[in-house]
Chain A
Amino acid sequence: MAPTHATPPHPETAGAGAAVAEPVPVLEARSVSKRFPGVVALDDVSFALRAGEVHALVGENGAGKSTLIKVLTGVYQSDEGEVRVSGQPVRFARPFEAQQAGISTIYQEVNLVPLMSVARNIFLGREPKNRFGLIDFPRMNRETTELLDGFGVRVDPKRPLHTLGIGTQQMVALARAVSVQAQVVIMDEPTSSLEPREVETLFRVIENLRGQGIAVLYVSHRMDELYRICDRVTVLRDGRHIHTGELAPLERMQLVSMMLGRDMAEVRRDGLTGFAAEGHDAARTPVLTAKGLNRRHQLHGISVELYAGEVLGLGGLLGSGRSETAKALTGALPLDGGEITVDGKRLGRPTPAAAIRAGISMLPEDRKAEGIVPGLSVRENIVLAAMPRLSKAGIVSRAKQDRIVDIFMKRLRIKASSPEQKVGELSGGNQQKVLLARWLCLEPKVLLLDEPTRGIDVGAKAEVQSLIDELAREGLAVLLISSDIEELIEGADRIVVLRGGAVAGELAGDEVDESRLLEVLADHTPDTVNHTPDTVNRAPGAVLADRTPDAGPSDRTPHAAPGDHTPEPGGKAPAGQEDPR
């Protein structure tokens, strides 16, 4: 087992910069498409990875990053197009075959066996054998220690994996991936659970891999990391390839605008959303106050105030803590610290039941997994959460149910053949409305909407958007999370922008426009904002004015004035692209 001698047959000189003649890419996807029922996850995506480069793969939620990785590593098979390894077409039926071809992957969630020892995890499937064909444990443990020493990790190889910290587990996964004689190492958000010190170790390892001519595909949403270690970048959006090129000359703002599909020079407020142009009259005292929400690795002191009659947008890139914040507010995500107050009353220990009783309702991001019960009827789905209110001594009044269901089906314009139709048979937009009805019949004070229009067609989208508008006008406090930047800007009266699990800024009034939002989204402070809680724990709700000005030697991409540049994002980014799902 001499992992580092696994240098692939290509010469060391084929480094990142030396591109006189285009070398044959080690790993290549050609016009790859992948469809799932109702969704085109990848649409004609081509992409090439050269030996000895660190290639960033970026994109928002649903952009197709994970699907692309899974096609490249044999977890999924593409519907169209082909994958090539060193110029040879291949078709991986299983992850094992991809690994045989020298592609090894570190998944975002640690994919090792928790109960097995560190050494066994690293050598699973390729254990060193002694001359009797039995596993040679002393050798295995020795090699594990040597391997991990190279990563600056000192740990007893016999220790069960689950007794280690999550960061150390990630390093073990990394050690496994690197030691399998790989030509290509794919890392899917490897730093999401690492401490800053471990991130440094990871970067050292990546530099080493690059030095050995191994190609690294690096998926992350942390801009600082990308600019520190990546040579080139590929941007995906809505399952399509948007851009591939050198990373250094590309400005952060350009990169973010490509990820979000928004052309910055473009004029906004073109009425593509269903929101009315004017804002809402918000009340003076907040309905919902959250102070200093803390959760290890995810939220760092987030404070939010939400007033009756307003739509508050919660912006941020993928992984910024948007959904986590919303989940924390509904008690679905256990917190390490912070408090939540509704109408002046503090939620003792936030649980979903306590939050619902206090008047907080949430429309979850993943409709299928967390919301609708497809086998039940429209009526049953609507009254599900309201059962306790509609029943006396455990007996549910059918008459009351029918009345409520009738009201909401009319009000939300739910298109179903009858209240008894199964929800699973409805379109995505109507399913979303059924869910909305479910929460509205609880008469909430606060409504949290996590990606309310994702995956529904354009018409239904506009309808849901105008519904949100109406609800706020009627005095409901609405928190809107959306990665559709247009929806956020036109729908929200105020926008709180999150970055790295902390509040990065707040836009109110005239500030709510696209270039300002993009600026805050892309911004970074010279410090590593993302993973040092100390520097992140700034004054809650820090407004744009007191942001650290962009300066310092580490800042490679000083901001140009908004609108100063017109990026050409791959030439195929329609202004208001519609959701392909």
Chain B
Amino acid sequence: MNKTQPATVPPAEAPAPLKSAPSRPEPRPERSTGSRIGALVQRQGVLAVLLTVILIASFVYPTFASVDNARGITVQASFLAIVALGMTLVIITGGIDLSVGSVFALGGVLAAWASPWGFFAALFVPLVVCGTIGLVNGLLIARANMAPFIVTLASLLAARGILLAFTDEGATTYLVPKDSAFAELGQGSVWGFGYPILIALALFGAGGLLLQRTSFGQTLFAVGGSSDAATLMGLPVARTKILVYTLSGLLAGLAGALNAARLSSGVTIVGVGMELDAISAVVIGGTLLIGGAGSISGTLWGVLLLAVIQNLINQIGSLNSSYQSVVSGGFLIVVVVAQRYLARSRRTT
């Protein structure tokens, strides 16, 4: 700006105050080492916790640090990861999507139902239906100005209801044909890593680019940070919200379809409470529940942390697996308290 100004404003006509050198009051601030570490911990703190837990567990439980176990954990985690990816985007806009658990289950049942017609039908049907549910969520939230909590709570119930009606209240179980290409998508692997893991990683890579390096991603942050400001800056707030809920529905449906492929059947009882796991993973990953800040990578670590904890409790054996929720809940609280503390200390520095 200052380079171009003299060109357009001839010096003779320049107003007097311009001649005085602009005051440089605010020296370029050097961020203190402390605050930089604080920022790093806030961004990658979950990763540190995750690595610590893995390290300790590897020493204590030799069975934990096996390749087989790692495979098991990551495949299990990949479905939640895909759901949590959509949830991250939604939460960054300051919203919430409670419907993902039901949509996940519905996606699985629809995929299993459609799988006899081939690979593409098995993916297409759940994606269309689940994407539509997300679209309706988005329209109600963005255009009718309804609260995301209410809208997605309603679609949680609705999706579960559709699922029950479709399966005669769970009496009918649709099976995925053995050795079909679709079953392979859930069960096959490359170098021992199941396709669901690879798909999840690819989606996270794409999601990271989308969030950090595109205008759409910036708009997500802006909408979550200050919806009014985003509107006044002329950003497409409504369109962004609609898109993000549609994406969340699509991802939940895809995860459900992959899960059905892995299990070879459309299990109706999956996905209950999955939305809460996804929200936990997102929040543990450092994304603010009020929106405006967050990261894709944090969510990935959050999902893995939850999966590792579950696995550890299974390793201990003597511990009732019901305690898994207690431990996960405890981690959630610790992480949120730490986040708030860090945020405060960073604001004051």
Contacts and interface: CB of A to CB of B under 8 A. Distances in A.
Interface of A: 2-5, 7, 75, 94-100, 105, 107, 111-116, 120, 124-127, 133-135, 146-156, 159, 162-163, 168, 175-176, 179, 197, 200-201, 203-204, 207-208, 211-212
Interface stretch (B3-11, B68-76, B117-125, B308-316): B3-11
Interface in B1-36: 1-5, 7-9, 13-15, 17-18, 22-29, 31
B18 A207 contact: yes
Contact of A114 (B9, B18, B226): B226
Nearest to B13: A211
Given A111-B228, A153-B25, A155-B26, 16 more contacts: A4-B7, A5-B4, A97-B234, A113-B292, A116-B218, A116-B221, A116-B292, A124-B218, A124-B222, A126-B215, A134-B209, A150-B22, A154-B26, A154-B27, A175-B1, A208-B9
A212 B9 contact: yes
Instruction: Identify the 10 closest CB pairs spanning chains A and B, nearest first.
Output: A96-B234, A152-B22, A150-B1, A113-B225, A207-B15, A150-B2, A134-B213, A147-B1, A111-B229, A115-B292
Given A124-B235, A135-B213, A211-B14, A153 B226 contact: no
B232 interface: yes
A391 to B, nearest CB: 34
Contacts of B235: 96, 124-125
B15 A208 contact: yes
B2 A203 contact: no
A212 B1 contact: no
B29 A159 contact: yes
B233 interface: yes
A107 B234 CA distance: 13
Contacts of A211: 8-9, 13-15
Interface string B210-251: 001111001101100110111111111000000000000000
A116 B226 CA distance: 10
B342 interface: no
Contacts of A7: 8
A319 B46 CA distance: 48
Nearest to B290: A115
A5 to B, nearest CB: 7
Nearest to B209: A134
A116 B232 contact: no
Given A105-B232, A150-B1, A4 B215 contact: no
A51 to B, nearest CB: 14
8 contacts: A4-B7, A99-B234, A113-B225, A135-B213, A146-B1, A154-B26, A211-B13, A212-B9
B292 A124 contact: no
A120 B218 contact: yes
A153 B26 contact: yes
Contact of A203 (B17, B27, B228): B17
A123 to B, nearest CB: 8
Interface string B261-287: 000000000000000000000000000
Given A95-B231, A154-B27, A163 B347 contact: yes
Contacts of B228: 111
A400 to B, nearest CB: 39
Contacts of B212: 135
A94 B234 contact: yes
B293 interface: yes
B1 A3 contact: yes
Interface in B150-190: none
B232 A95 contact: yes
Interface of B: 1-5, 7-9, 13-15, 17-18, 22-29, 31, 209, 212-215, 218-219, 221-222, 225-226, 228-236, 288, 292-293, 346-347
Given A149-B2, A212-B9, A155 B218 contact: no
A504 to B, nearest CB: 28
A153 B222 CA distance: 23
A104 to B, nearest CB: 9
Nearest to B288: A115
A115 B226 CA distance: 9
A200 B17 contact: yes
Contacts of B13: 211
Contacts of A97: 234
B221 A113 contact: yes
Nearest to B225: A113
A115 B18 contact: no
Contacts of A207: 15, 17-18
Contacts of A112: 226, 229, 233
B225 A111 contact: no
Nearest to B236: A96
Contacts of B26: 153-155, 168
A492 B29 CA distance: 52
Contacts of A116: 218, 221-222, 225, 292
A538 B214 CA distance: 54
Contact of A146 (B2, B222, B233, B347): B2
Contacts of B8: 4-5, 7, 211-212
Contact of B22 (A133, A151, A175): A151
Contacts of A5: 4, 8
A124 B27 contact: no
Contacts of B221: 113, 115-116, 120
B234 A125 contact: yes
Nearest to A125: B235
A99 B347 CA distance: 33
Contact of B219 (A124, A147, A153): A124
A148 B25 CA distance: 12
Contacts of A176: 233
A111 B1 contact: no
B226 A111 contact: yes
Contacts of B23: 152, 197, 201
A256 B210 CA distance: 54
Nearest to B29: A156
Given A96-B235, A124-B219, A115 B5 contact: no
A114 B225 contact: yes
Which of A113, A120, A124 has most B Cβ within 10 Å? A113
A113 B230 contact: yes
A212 B14 CA distance: 10
B226 to A, nearest CB: 5
Nearest to B348: A163
B191 to A, nearest CB: 29
Nearest to B293: A115
B28 A154 contact: yes
B1 A125 contact: no
Contacts of A175: 1
A116 B7 CA distance: 32
A493 to B, nearest CB: 43
Given A4-B1, A207-B18, A127 B226 contact: no
